[in-house]
Structure 1
Amino acid sequence: MSARPRHSTTDDFPWWLVALVIIGLVLAVVIAVNDIYAQVFNIVIKGIGMTVFVTLVAFVLASLWGLAIAVLGMADNIMLRQGARFYIETVRGIPILVVLFYIAFVGAPVIVSLFNWMITPLVQAGWVDAMQVRDFSLTWRAILALTICYAAFIAEIFRAGIEAVDQGQVEAAKALGLNRVQRFRLVVFPQAIRTIFPPLSNDFVSMVKDSSLVSVLGVMDITQLGKVYAAGSFRFFETYSIVAYIYLILTLGLSLVLRRVEKSLRRSPRG
Structure 2
Amino acid sequence: MDESSEASAVDRTRAPRPTRQWKPAPPRSVVGLASLAVLVAAAAVLSAVWTAGSIREALDSLSADTAWVNVGLYSVAALAMVLFVPAVKGLQTAIEARRLIRIDLAEARATTADAQEKSRLAIGYAVAFAIVLLFGLFLIANEIAVGKTFFDLGLIFETGALVASAFWVNVEIFMIAEVLVLVWGLLIAVARLAPGRAGAPIRLIATAYVDLFRGLPAIIAIYLVGFGLPLTDLPILRDMTPTMFAILALTLTYGAYVSEVYRSGIESVHWSQTAAARSLGFSHSQTLRYVVVPQAVRRIIPPLLNDFISLQKDTALVSVIGTVDAFNQAKIIASNHFNLSSVTTVAVLFVLITIPQARLVDKLIERDQKRMRAGG
TM-score normalised to structure 2 length: 0.55
* CA distance in 1: counterparts of 2:367 and 2:172, whole angstroms: 27
Give the residue type in structure 2 aligned to 1:193.
V
* CA distance in 1: counterparts of 2:353 and 2:187, whole angstroms: 29
Query: By how many angstroms is 1:95 displaced?
Result: 1.2
* CA distance in 1: counterparts of 2:230 and 2:295, whole angstroms: 39
Question: What fraction of aligned residue pairs are identical, expressed as a percent?
Answer: 31
Query: By how many angstroms is 1:230 displaced?
Result: 0.8
Q: Is 1:53 the equivalent of 2:156?
A: no
Query: By how many angstroms is 1:258 displaced?
Result: 4.0
Tell me how large the CA RMSD over aligned residues is.
Answer: 3.1
Partner of 1:194: 298
Tell me: CA distance 1:184–1:265, structure 2 relative to 1, closer, same or farther (3 Å): farther
* CA distance in 2: counterparts of 1:151 and 1:177, whole angstroms: 32
| One of 304, 307, 322 as aligned partner of 1:218 | 322
| One of 309, 333, 355 as aligned partner of 1:252 | 355
| One of 161, 166, 169 as aligned partner of 2:273 | 169
| One of 78, 83, 90 as aligned partner of 2:205 | 83
* CA distance in 1: counterparts of 2:155 and 2:308, whole angstroms: 32
Partner of 2:155: 36
Partner of 2:300, secondary structure, is helix
Give the residue type in structure 2 aligned to 1:225.
Q
Partner of 1:146: 250
Give the residue type in structure 2 aligned to 1:257.
L
**Tell me, which stretches of 5 or more residues in structure 2 are unaligned?**
1-116, 133-151
Query: By how many angstroms is 1:239 displaced?
Result: 1.7
| Count of residue pairs brought into register by the alignment | 231
The answer to whether the 8 Å contact 1:194/1:265 transfers is no
The answer to whether the 8 Å contact 1:194/1:266 transfers is no
- For residues 88-237 of structure 1, what are the structure 2 equivalents within 5 Å? 88-110=210-232, 112-113=233-234, 116=235, 133=238, 135-236=239-340
* CA distance in 2: counterparts of 1:153 and 1:132, whole angstroms: 25
* CA distance in 2: counterparts of 1:262 and 1:46, whole angstroms: 34
Partner of 1:219, secondary structure, is coil
- Which protein is bigger by CA-based radius of gyration? 2
Query: By how many angstroms is 1:231 displaced?
Result: 1.2
The answer to whether the 8 Å contact 1:108/1:141 transfers is no
TM-score normalised to structure 1 length: 0.75
* CA distance in 2: counterparts of 1:144 and 1:63, whole angstroms: 13
